[in-house]
Structure 1
Amino acid sequence: MGPKRKYRLDLPAEIPAGGLPLPSPRIQVRPRNTYKYEAALGKGQPGEEEAPEDSQFSTAQKTLSLRNRALEAAGNGIVISDALLPDRPVIYSNRAFTEITGYSAREIQGRNCRLLQGDDRQQPGLERIRRALNTGEACRELLRNYRKDGTLFWNDLSITPIADDQGKITHFIGVLNDVSDQVAAADYKDGIRKILESIAAYAPLSKTGQAICELLVAHTGSRAALISLKAQGGDELRALASFRLPEALKKAFDRIPLGAATSCPCNRAATEKREIITPDLSREPQRSENDMQLLQFGFRASWAFPILSPDRQLLGTCTLYGDRMGKPDPDTRGMIREALQLAALAVERRWNRDQLEAGKKQLQRYARELEENVEARTRQVLETVEELKKTNRSLQQQFESTREAENLAFASQALFMAMAKNFPKGVIMVFDQEHHFVHLEGEELRAMDLLSWQYANLGIDALPGFGEDQKRLLSERVAETLLGSHVSFEMEHGANTYVVNSTPLEFDNAIRWALLVFSNTTEQKKAERDLLRALHSEQELNDLKSRFISMASHEFRTPLSAILSSAILLGRMNEPGKEGKRERYIKQIKNNVRNMVVILNDFLSLGKLEEGDISFQASDFDFLELLRSVLGELEPSLKVGQHFVQVCDRADFNVRLDPKLTRHILVNLLSNAIKYSPENSAIHLRVSREGDELMLSVRDRGIGIPEDEQPNLFNRFFRARNAINIPGTGLGLHIVKQYTELMGGRIQFTSTTGRGSTFLIHLPCTLKTEKNETNPDH
């Protein structure tokens, strides 16, 4: 490590927010006993080496300016406190400190850094920092700190003392590093580990559910969480665990009926087996009684998720409640799904253990009954043998014949058992008159998870792994078979499809049993579905081709007719004095040619998008300059009285995007605004920046889009019913959306019929280029 070096740092009493000042009159930053320099405007100190004033002053200025810039550009927050003043006030902070804490340099100067601790003053690391400051030693601690707005962040703080020539501590330098994301990730992994340990140890489900609720609330920004399980064999959800849910809501959500006509998110998530995201409870058109209670307690949003087994059987639900409106982002949604997989694992593991315990007890009961039956039967056999010994020896021959017949029966039964057990890709089930299992064999028992199931004396209602509807169907078909019918039907089990054929079995001219043969037809069904899917895709492709040919011929006919008419009239306007009419016809030809180019570009862009042959190539350019260029190109297309209104808070707007794709987006949006707006109307454009995003808003006062057709607006070839008589291909907005998303952006819109539309484009100011560099020619 080597010997410790102490540094001297002479600073003025006050330091401005912009950084350290130039030498005025003395600033010394030097390792102890290595060099001394005076940037004084007077005489030097005795014993110090003198240097020419101009050159040394210039050197100090440059060195200090360089260090100031380095401190301001540092990624970590840096503060300097005066160790000689009471309470060690801060005399300097860099820009990164402001970005991390929210406190400006002016707000923090003159104050102690303990204001970042808020009321959280009992942390063990704080005492170690105090001891290090009092003894003048360096230290490093991980602390909970609080920003100016009160939000928590984890601070990896390093403190280094600075000494003067005499070794006296004059300043402390603190380096802040926001490690909140790393701490949260470690805490989340630790929570997952503890939950897995709880599941492995067969902890009570309520304890595991409580841990999952606490984990989700801690890492999803939610305020409360509730996990409910479906009652086994019942039709309701029962609360298992909750976290930070008021007592009144716990009672209200303790039991939730399933299948009832209600808009309750828990019920819907369970019955529909999908996520029910309610970003704003107050805007729900049909609020349930539970929604009203949530609003009374200050909850504004709810996210309900089903808990499903691997074969998508409902196990329960998990609902998160937030006091802020919104939807979960993809990372949060993935975290929730991961936690719900753990919940499903815990439930299934617990239920399976309960079933195994029940099966074990049942087996023990069967073993006792069998032992008792064997003992009784043995006594009967012994008694019978004794009676047979006393009978006439003449019956010996009859006895031998009976034994031979019995051996033959056993052989036949063994043959039947071998055939049934090795029945290929299927299962053989035999039921008696009471619908109890008599026989169950076949290769597919393993796939159905019935290989170790003890079926003796059990009915169809005890069949594991089958749903209630499936059991009911089996019971109905067995009843039909016992009445003499031969039936065939299909049944799904897990990921497999089975064709079931039945036949009645007779004995002594009476139907005694029903035989059901299950044959696995999954591969045949898959081939059938693939064939139907291929036929559907072919039909859809033919429909798209027909629509394309019809639309292309119609859209090209109109501008070509206008060009032909204008060219004929232009040929007749060669006389002097008709220059104005010639200019008008030439302008008409240019506009129609431009429209044809737009249509061709849309068709070509659609082709490349369908083939996956579109990409971007980022470059630096001025967005406003590109926008002005596009407006200039489109100005001849404006209707009478139409005009553009631009709003931007800056003279230039440098971005790094694909200029060609950006031009396509601007041309399509502005052409639509011109096309669907009336004469004498304004088209408003607003360009702004929010964080690292460029935002472009295009607003018109046109015909608008019917509300019921808005979900289809970005589909290929879609034309709203109120725009059928206006020329267009229905491809422009589809291409705009694809190009926007290709560059990592998104598009939004609002529209009212008869009042116009507003389209809002979000694009990153700096486009990442790790991908899509394969085809720069677009």
Structure 2
Amino acid sequence: MASDEALREALLELQTLRERETAAHTTTANLLACLEALNSAEDPRTGLRALLQVLVSRLNADQAMLVEGVGGMRTRVTISDGSTPAGAEIVFPFSPFRRQRNLMDLHAAGEWSSDALSFDDLNSVLVAPAGGELTLLVLAQEPAAFAALDSELASKVAPLAAQGWRSAKLVSENALLAATIQGSSSGFAISDARTDEKPLIYVNPAFEELSGYSAAEVLGRNCRFLTAEPENSPERRRLSATVAQNGRGRFLLRNKRKSGEGFWNELTLFPVLNEQDEVTHLVATQTDATVRVQAEEDRDAVRTRMEAALRATEDAFLIVEPDGQIIFANAAMREQFPSDTIGWARGSRFIDNWADYLNALPRAPAEELRVPDFARLAREGARREVSFPDGRSFLMNASRMEDGAFVVFATNITALKVAERVSLQQLAALDAALDGIALVDKSGRILSLNSAAVGLLGFRDQESAMGHKWPRRYVGAEPDMETPAIVARSGEREEERHEISLSPTRYGTVLVIRDVTARLREEDKARSLGEALAVAQRREAVSQITAGLAHDFNNVLSAIMGSASLISMDNNVHEKARGHAARVETAGRSAAKLVNRLLDMGTEAQDHSLFDLRSALTDLPDLLGSNLPGNQRLKIDAGPQALVVEGDMAELSQILLNMVLNARDAMGDSPGQITLSLSSHTPQRTTQEAVGVLEAGQHYALIEIQDEGAGIDADALPKLFDAYFSTKGAKGTGLGLAVAATQIRAMRGAIDVQSTLGEGTIMRLFCPLAELSEAAQQSDDTATDISLAGTTLLVVDDDSGVAEVLSAFLEAQGAEVATCEDPLDAAEALAEDPDSWSALITDYDMPGMNGGELVEHTRTVAPNVPIFVVTALARRTTDPRLRAENIAGLFAKPVDLRKLAEAISEALPGRD
């Protein structure tokens, strides 16, 4: 019994051992089948799927899958035998990662759910944690489908599945990484770090594009061929040290492409380690940073300039964080608002710095200054003027940045306010200035002006002047004219003369206007007076030269004309001789007038009288004499009407003579006729002539001098009456017509010229007719008989010829005449018997005693004797002793004997 029992136990033990051996063999065979499926596939993912399919087959299961946790009891299918899609979600009723489970009825464990898997037909489940957040899940429809050996196999396959999943995932990641590197826009280069040369073993297409080299050209070479960085540059030394140590780092280097073109290369270097933590490779990523570097350089330059400007600016500048911390404060901020304790340091609080500044002020500030409201200032936008207790004024402005920080500006306008006050004072002074002052642009457009300029330019007010061009207010003015210049105001106002000065500035051109009308008028007056003085001085000089000649010549004329008068009075003289004597008298009178013209050159005015222009025309042939060639004829048409003018007949005769001679010169040696005609003319409208103005309605005598000469060129006509202008060249003085113009203007007359080349010239002289009374216009042909019988006359003249002529004429009138050549003898005779003399006729310029002295003596010794002074220089005499109360008459030589006799007759008592 005992042996049987032992045998039975031995057999049981043997059977157990065989069962264990069989189970182990089965488990091993199943495990080997799973390993073979995993390792024989083309890639880890396919092998893992094959492993799960073998496991389903060997365990007679329906599904097998590997799930990973996504939070709590929720999991996601990573891979399955093909029955459940990857990514499907399964929610366990327990944690699937803590321990292995073999559930015969999965529904007994709790509620299972999935978005892709139905648990209604499933009953058995094996849960084998694979490490971490991975679990192997095997499902079957049969209840209690899995034995202990099945659970053991699942626990051994679970780590294999997890490793297969990690391999598959790594392969996917590596494939993704390779595709990413290959398609990256950044250059990738991988070098072998196990050799000192560290040759390139891989470059991607982006590296080829960046460097310009193909992969074939660079593989096997060290990457230093790209560098353009100086050997001693800190960045290159840092890179070399990092490569030597197989380290990691980021670098910015100057590189060059195959073409030689330089570029900035941003390089990132990192090592790759194997399972033994040994560096096997170095990977470098490369990016063209040229644009970025240039932008950073530009930004840095701008920032540097901005910071320099902010430091240099006189405006206080402050950047404050939203919480009140100081980011930046420039030097002006520290200077304008000093905080001695904190100094506006970066990171300090604004409120502390501001309080430090306010405490140093002489008195407490206004409420708004105690805690400035930057947010409100930023919302307002515009600058606000703020006054501080220390007397300073600031314009403050704030703006808010995107990050909430405040940028605050403060401009010190204290000096500006002072300047503003000064400017207002200056503007007031400028506006009160008598000179017109305006600011104009380059085109002359008015930008601003003072009140004086408004009036001088003829505007209503300052506003109406703005924008107008000042040159348009003047005649011939330009915005860029040379100044100072004097210009005339345009318009209907009385002509004004303004002095214009232009001074360019960077703000425009300053225009200064000064009314010089009165000054110019005074200058013209002074100039005229100066010219008159010069003329007077010249006349005086000439008169001094001519006075002596005129005196002697008048004495000669007195003898000639007196003798001619005596011949005419002699009844025994033949009538023909009497005519000759009359012509001698006429020539003598003309000669006397010429002498008087010489004397008038030293005087201010000349004696004018009324005369008939017909006389001036009819005297011309005698005055012309033989000065006209034989083939030229002078025709005079004086007309029947008496045309009386006021003036000097001798002057007008000289003008007409000069114009006839000009006509003769214009005709040259050619035959022809010179025609003088006289008529009346009354213009209907006022016209400006070549000389003078014809007034509408005024009655004129018109003298026309017409020749048949060569005519005058049109260019010469405007200058014809200018002094020293002549069309005769060296033969002319250029004074004849200029003098004529002056004399005609003095008569308030005019001259007109009409000339045609090759046909001749017509000179028209217009002389205003005199207004005559009816009595003056009647002719008085009766001569009054003169009788000096019963008178005793004393004639004194150092020229015996003159004395004899006077004596003979006066004796012919019935007087007894005594002559005396020495005035001292005459003075003695008067003193001895003053009552024996009826009248004294004396010359003025005499040796020993002149006429003035003789008059004075006579008035003393013979106060009742009438005195007549006859002198060759009567027009020049200024002796006060020859005043009307001292003498009865003053006569010029050659004396009109009849007028002298009439004056003596009228002066003697009882002869009226």
Higher RCO, Cα 8 Å, sep 6+: 1
The reply to whether TM is greater than 0.5 is no
Q: From the CA coordinates, give the structure whose radius of gyration is larger.
A: 2
